[in-house]
C-alpha cells in the first residue's frame, strides 16, 4: 500500500475517532453519524468531493476543548509524512513534464551556424557560433515549450601546479540553468582559466572565458548542435597533415644544406665550424658523416 492511500485511510480512522469524541462531549453529531432519516438530502457530485487530509484532522483536533495530546502527536507525524510524499510526487511530476516538453523542444531541430571567423596566427584559425546568435535562436523555442535559462558566473582563483610549483591563478566558473515552468531544473557547469590576449585587461580576459563558457553550457544543456562541426574536424586534420608535410620538407632541405656545407669545407677547422653550428640532435645525426669527411680531408692533406 502506497503512502498517500495509507495516509487517507488513517485520516478516515482518525476522523471517526474525532467524530465520536465530539459526541462524547455533547456536541452535534456529524452528518456521517446522524440517523439516515435525519441526514439532509445532498446531490452527490464528483466536483464537490474533497479528500480529507491529515492537516484537516489536525485542525479539528486542535479545536477540541479537551485535546488529546497523544492523538495530536500521531496526527502531526502523519501530516509530516503526507506532506513529504506530496512533495516527492510534485518533484516526480515536474521531472516527467520537463522530459515531455524537452522532447517536444528537440523536435524544433535548431542548428546554430558558425558565423564568426577567429584568426589566431600560428595558433591556427577556426569558426565559432556567436553567443548572441545562440540566444536569439534558442529563446523563442525554449519559451514556447515552457523553458527558460539563466547563468551564474563566478570570478575566483584556483591552485594550479606547473613544473612542480603550485600557485593561485584566476579562474572562471559558469553554470547554466535550464528551468521548466513546473519547477524542474537541469544544469551544466563549465570552468577554465582566463584568456591570455596581451591587448586585454585581466578583467576582459576573464570575461572572454565567461562568454565562451556561457555559450557552450547553453548549447550543452539544451542539446543544441552547431553547424559544420565535422567539417571543422576535417579542416584541423588537413592542417595537421599539411604542417607535418611542411616540416618534412624543411627537414629534408636542412639535411641537404648540411651535406653541402660538409662537402664545401676544405679544411678540418672549417669542417669543425660547420659541425659546431649544428643543434645537439643534428650533431648526433651527422657525427658519422662528419668523421668520414674529416678522414677525407686528412688524406688530402698528406
Q: What is the pLDDT of residues 29-61, one digit of tens each?
A: 444 444 444 444 444 444 455 777 878 877 887
Q: How confident is the model at residue 173 (pLDDT cuts 50, 70, 90)?
A: very high
* Helical axes 3-24 vs 54-62, angle rounded to 10°: 20
**Would you say 15 and 23 are in contact if contact means Cβ atoms under 8 Å apart?**
no
Whether 206 is in a domain gets the answer yes
What DSSP state is assigned to residue 194?
P
Residues 138 and 93 in one domain: no
The answer on 135 and 171 residing in a single domain is yes
Range in 80-89, 125-134, 144-153, 239-248 with the lowest mean pLDDT: 239-248
Mean pLDDT computed over every residue of the chain: 80
For residue 111 the three cell numbers come to 542548428
* Number of folded domains that form the chain: 3
pTM beyond cutoff 0.75:
no
Query: Helices (H) and strands (E) in the chain — how many of each?
Result: 8, 5
Is residue 266 in a domain? yes
CA torsion sign for 77, 81, 84, 90 is negative
pLDDT in tens, 195-252: 888 888 888 999 999 999 999 999 999 999 998 766 655 556 666 666 666 677 787 7
CA 282 to chain centre: 49
User: Are 68 and 137 part of one and the same domain?
Assistant: no
Residue with cell 523563442: 140
For residue 112, give the DSSP letter: B
Over the Cα atoms of the chain, what is R_g?
Answer: 40
Say whether both 66 and 164 belong to one domain.
no
Indicate if the pLDDT at residue 74 is higher than 50.
yes
> Domain for residue 41, yes or no?
no
Phi and psi at residue 63, in whole multiples of 5°? -85, -5
Looking at the fold, whether 209 and 250 belong to one and the same domain comes out as no
Look at residue 236 and tell me if it is in a domain: no
Give CA 57 to chain center in angstroms: 45
Q: Which residues, 6+ apart, have CB-to-CB distance to 77 below 8 Å?
A: none
C-alpha cell at 200: 586585454
pLDDT tens profile 266-294: 888 888 888 888 888 888 888 888 888 88
Q: Which residue has the higher pLDDT, 9 or 106?
A: 106
Domain range spanning residue 87?
3-36+47-99
Same domain, 263 and 216: no
Q: Are residues 125 and 215 in the same domain?
A: yes
Sequence-separated (6 or more) residues with CB below 8 Å from residue 267: 297
Is 220 found in the same domain as 120? yes
Residue 128 pairs in a beta bridge with 116
Q: Are residues 135 and 203 in the same domain?
A: yes
Residue 121, phi then psi, degrees to nearest 5? 60, -125
State phi, psi for 161 to the nearest 5 degrees: -110, 125
Task: Kindly indicate the confidence band of residue 23, based on its pLDDT and cuts at 50, 70 and 90.
Answer: very low
Look at residue 184 in the predicted model and tell me its pLDDT.
96
Please report, in angstroms and rounded to a whole number, the separation of the first and last CA atoms in the chain. 110
In a domain? residue 95: yes
Calculate mean pLDDT across residues 167-191. Answer: 95
Pairwise CA distance, residues 191 & 2, whole Å = 43
DSSP state letter for 107: T
Percent of the chain whose pLDDT exceeds 70: 75
pLDDT at 258 over 70: yes
Q: Residue 235 falls within a domain, yes or no?
A: no
pLDDT digits (tens, 9 = 90+) for 91-120: 999 999 999 999 999 999 999 998 888 776
Last residue of some domain: 164, 198, 227?
227
Asked if 208 and 143 sit in the same domain, the reply is yes
Is residue 120 domain-shared with residue 88, that is, in the same domain?
no
User: Would you say residue 279 lies in a domain?
Assistant: yes
Question: Does residue 200 sit in the same domain as residue 253?
Answer: no
180: its cell numbers: 521548466
Is 110 domain-assigned? Answer: no
Amino acid at each position: 500500500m502506497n503512502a498517500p492511500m495509507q495516509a487517507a485511510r488513517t485520516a478516515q480512522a482518525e476522523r471517526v475517532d474525532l467524530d465520536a469524541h465530539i459526541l462524547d462531549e455533547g456536541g452535534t453529531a456529524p452528518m456521517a453519524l446522524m440517523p439516515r432519516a435525519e441526514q439532509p438530502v445532498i446531490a452527490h457530485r464528483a466536483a464537490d468531493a474533497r479528500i480529507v487530509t491529515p492537516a484537516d484532522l489536525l485542525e479539528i483536533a486542535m479545536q477540541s476543548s479537551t485535546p488529546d495530546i497523544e492523538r495530536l502527536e500521531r496526527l502531526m507525524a502523519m501530516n509530516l509524512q503526507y506532506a513529504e510524499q506530496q512533495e516527492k510526487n510534485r518533484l516526480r511530476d515536474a521531472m516527467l513534464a520537463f522530459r515531455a516538453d524537452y522532447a517536444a523542444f528537440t523536435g524544433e531541430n535548431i542548428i546554430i551556424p558558425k558565423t564568426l571567423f577567429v584568426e589566431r596566427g600560428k595558433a591556427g584559425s577556426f569558426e565559432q557560433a556567436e553567443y548572441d546568435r545562440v540566444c536569439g535562436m534558442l529563446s523563442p523555442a525554449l519559451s514556447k515549450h515552457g523553458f527558460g535559462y539563466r547563468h551564474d558566473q563566478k570570478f575566483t582563483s584556483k591552485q594550479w601546479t606547473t613544473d612542480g610549483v603550485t600557485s593561485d591563478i584566476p579562474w572562471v566558473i559558469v553554470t547554466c540553468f535550464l528551468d521548466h515552468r513546473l519547477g524542474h531544473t537541469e544544469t551544466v557547469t563549465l570552468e577554465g582559466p582566463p584568456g591570455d590576449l596581451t591587448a586585454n585587461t585581466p578583467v576582459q580576459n576573464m570575461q572572454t572565458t565567461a562568454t565562451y563558457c556561457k555559450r557552450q553550457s547553453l548549447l550543452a544543456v539544451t542539446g543544441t548542435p552547431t553547424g559544420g562541426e565535422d567539417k571543422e574536424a576535417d579542416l584541423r586534420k588537413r592542417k595537421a597533415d599539411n604542417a607535418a608535410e611542411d616540416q618534412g620538407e624543411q627537414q629534408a632541405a636542412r639535411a641537404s644544406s648540411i651535406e653541402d656545407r660538409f662537402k664545401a669545407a676544405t679544411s678540418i677547422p672549417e669542417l669543425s665550424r660547420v659541425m659546431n653550428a649544428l643543434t645537439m640532435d643534428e650533431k648526433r645525426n651527422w657525427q658519422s658523416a662528419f668523421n668520414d669527411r674529416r678522414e677525407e680531408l686528412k688524406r688530402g692533406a698528406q
